[in-house]
Structure 1
């Protein structure tokens, strides 16, 4: 009977809890990447607003695999922002800054929720490990 219990706990630990934890860590990493992207957008907008853009803006654009080409933006007062689901919207710099701030706020809430889920899963893992230790120390009684 104890062998069956140990097997069930080990299966639950390895095939459920640890997999869930890996998924949650990957989700948290994805959220952190999105926060970094929107933070970079906010910083870029700040830089654009600080420089004189009457003659346009000269910049470099990544065309893939870290290859950059020079680009001239004639009117940098409006930019396209990914607002989700692959939808890009043309916004003024002020509007884009507000969107970036809202997205960062939203992603921080998601990050907090993800961290809480990770803590719960880690606590469950610890509980199951302790239960396994206890089951391994129980010696079967010989009658």
Structure 2
């Protein structure tokens, strides 16, 4: 997902007569606001990856609880990264260890893990909503600045002010 805007490019707006204000606005848009959009996008992607991992873990736990067949251990394959899988044996399926952040892991029962995943998913979704709002604000700032630059260009070209 890229953030290509449908707004006129800064170069087109500033191309006829370049004022110091236009140059400052151009620099601000290109160096600050567009960079902010990229950072917001990367944070959203990171949170989506975390949400997907939690949903995979939740489905694994539900499958484990539904199909336990009275066994306390199971054999499975674990993705160790980049779609490389490794066979493993889980000796005790009553508890699970979950990464909770900042290098800490927590051993939880399966029901506690499901509760944790639900709460963490709600939190991550709220983070995505906040980041989306921030992204919309940055895009609105870009649009306002470009519209203002366009208006400044109209005044400069015609030599007179028009009423708003």
TM-score under structure 2 normalisation? 0.79
Alignment partner of 1:83: what SS?
strand
CA-to-aligned-CA distance 1:48-71 (integer Å, 9 cap, x gap): 101125152110023344322211
Which residue of the partner structure matches residue 40 of structure 1?
56
User: Partners in 1 of 2:19 and 2:108 — Cα distance?
Assistant: 63
Pairwise CA distance, 1:38 = 1.1
Tell me: CA distance 1:119–1:64, structure 2 relative to 1, closer, same or farther (3 Å): closer
CA-to-aligned-CA distance 1:64-123 (integer Å, 9 cap, x gap): 443222111121111100111121111110011111111101101111111110010010
Alignment partner of 2:123 out of 81, 95, 106: 106
User: Partners in 1 of 2:45 and 2:70 — Cα distance?
Assistant: 36
User: Partners in 1 of 2:19 and 2:25 — Cα distance?
Assistant: 10
TM-score under structure 1 normalisation? 0.90
**Any gaps of 5 or more consecutive residues in structure 2?**
1-16, 160-164
User: Partners in 2 of 1:99 and 1:35 — Cα distance?
Assistant: 12
Q: How does 1:1-143 map to 2 (within 5 A)?
A: 3-51=19-67, 52-54=69-71, 56-139=73-156, 141=159
Alignment partner of 2:86: what SS?
strand
**Any gaps of 5 or more consecutive residues in structure 1?**
none
Tell me: CA distance 1:108–1:8, structure 2 relative to 1, closer, same or farther (3 Å): same
CA contact (8 A) 1:2 1:135 kept: no
User: Partners in 2 of 1:30 and 1:98 — Cα distance?
Assistant: 22
Which stretches of structure 1, 4 residues or more, deviate above 6 A after TM superposition?
none
More helix by share: 1
Pairwise CA distance, 1:46 = 0.4
